[in-house]
Chain A
């Protein structure tokens, strides 16, 4: 077992703060949900730590987001057909005067 794996195990078991993660993800979880999801995530994270045993010569490995290692191309800044204002607002839960309406940001 290498040191990476040891570190990871400690973090999973002691530092796994489900409330903080839910806050970051903007999902309001009930206590019951917190308990169940924390357990599920611990099981999954325990499994994925198998990756830590993988020895990779990372310096030589460039990371690509496109699986075919394609360089993403930029497009010309041209006007093209898009949604109309009405279409863009057509699914809004609330809109007024052509704008989305949301509750206040602060109480």
Chain B
């Protein structure tokens, strides 16, 4: 088997046994990244020189038996809205095309302590706003399974990078599905941890009460390893929390709920079939599976598209041409700001800033934002009730398989609908994972999503691993390794 296909634990074993050197793995990964870049455009930046040096240092540690962690010498791709000191962080926006990070995000600091390698920065929808990576100011990323199709978004570059074996794993960020949806479209595992378990310090903020960093990987175990490395309370993120995990059963005593509202209208037969397949497998293994209704899920898109733009309009107010980023001159400071923001932001970002500004403006605040916050609380309560009955909730990750580039760009609402199944977990702060389970008639992959109660991330990963072993999805996009 090609080394680029191997999971992290296996690679670490090979390093320890001296059957493989981190520098050999890096060389292979870098060749893959360079080879696929022209067709896929997964990356905005690829790092090379510094990694050759770092990979050799890693070789030395395995030689001496002083390796730092399971991630020592493992090449990881990083979404370009996460700061790495000394490198550009563009958020795929003209606004930040020349921004060089003066500090490390907390997740990067932790991964540096683990001695992981960073292969480069990956493409995204501008400021993580989108579901296809078509909103990038620096060109679109293509799906490694079929380049006519989108890789999903907003972490589409991270998913395409791992899919094409241009990195062993990647970090993405997930505000309404931006890790899980591209993972599903690219046949990978995508994990959004419980809100607050991973510090957001150094992640360029989009919607702060929803944003969460997490891994995109080939296996559930790889996601577990990355989650373990990046989680933990951080004094630099006041919303971060201690990772005090609650233990829930993952064996046959676990009760499974299928979300009724996410198996109805708006969900393709193919997406439904993947869920049915997993349910049958679980039933055959002896699990109790029942239907659970969470009626407010029908309103998830409406709640999200008030709360996320409201928070976005406040967060993106910082891009004013004064302290960093683009500046377009004007006769006064105000003119300069208006000109800078007109030129620096793309269409979708402007759309969301304006929507959020409207929802928060005098006279409309209570009707829009206030109502959405109340509905969000209701959603949290409905999930709490559901988790009194079952341990895990299962649904499709995405209503359909990947769509073609250009297919949904003319109607913003249609694009928003592709996040129907993933948004609820962000609104309720729950851990949620997408695991690949099959391919469609078009030979495009599809995943199934599993959610569990807050702070049961490790149990969720254990349960997902059981499904992963039962389903044995072993396909990958062809032509990249």
Q: Which residues of A contact B (CB under 8 A)?
A: 4, 7-8, 11, 16, 18, 21-22, 24-30, 33, 37, 40-41, 43-45, 47-52, 54, 56, 58, 61-70, 72-73, 75, 80, 83, 87-88, 90-94, 100, 102-107
Contact = CB atoms under 8 A, between A and B. Distances in A.
Nearest to B311: A65
Contacts of A27: 338, 341-342, 345, 350, 353-354
B103 A64 contact: no
A44 B412 contact: yes
Given A41-B355, A63-B370, 14 more contacts: A11-B364, A24-B361, A26-B317, A26-B320, A27-B345, A44-B305, A45-B358, A63-B377, A67-B209, A67-B429, A88-B323, A91-B100, A91-B323, A105-B334
Contacts of B361: 21, 24
B373 interface: yes
Nearest to B427: A67
Nearest to B341: A27
Contact of A37 (B305, B335, B350, B416): B350
A48 B74 CA distance: 44
Interface residue tally of chain B, by bracket? 35 or more
A62 B341 CA distance: 36
Contacts of B428: 67
Given A21-B354, A68-B429, A102 B241 contact: no
Given A56-B378, A62-B377, A63-B374, A90 B368 contact: no
A26 B326 CA distance: 15
Tell which of A24, A49, A62, A100 has the most Cβ of chain B within 10 Å. Answer: A24
**6 smallest A-B Cβ distances: which pairs?**
A67-B429, A93-B327, A91-B324, A28-B338, A28-B342, A87-B102
A69 B376 CA distance: 11
Contacts of A73: 238
Contact of B373 (A4, A37, A41, A63): A63
B442 interface: no
B324 A92 contact: yes
9 contacts: A27-B338, A27-B354, A41-B351, A41-B355, A44-B413, A54-B296, A56-B374, A92-B323, A103-B332
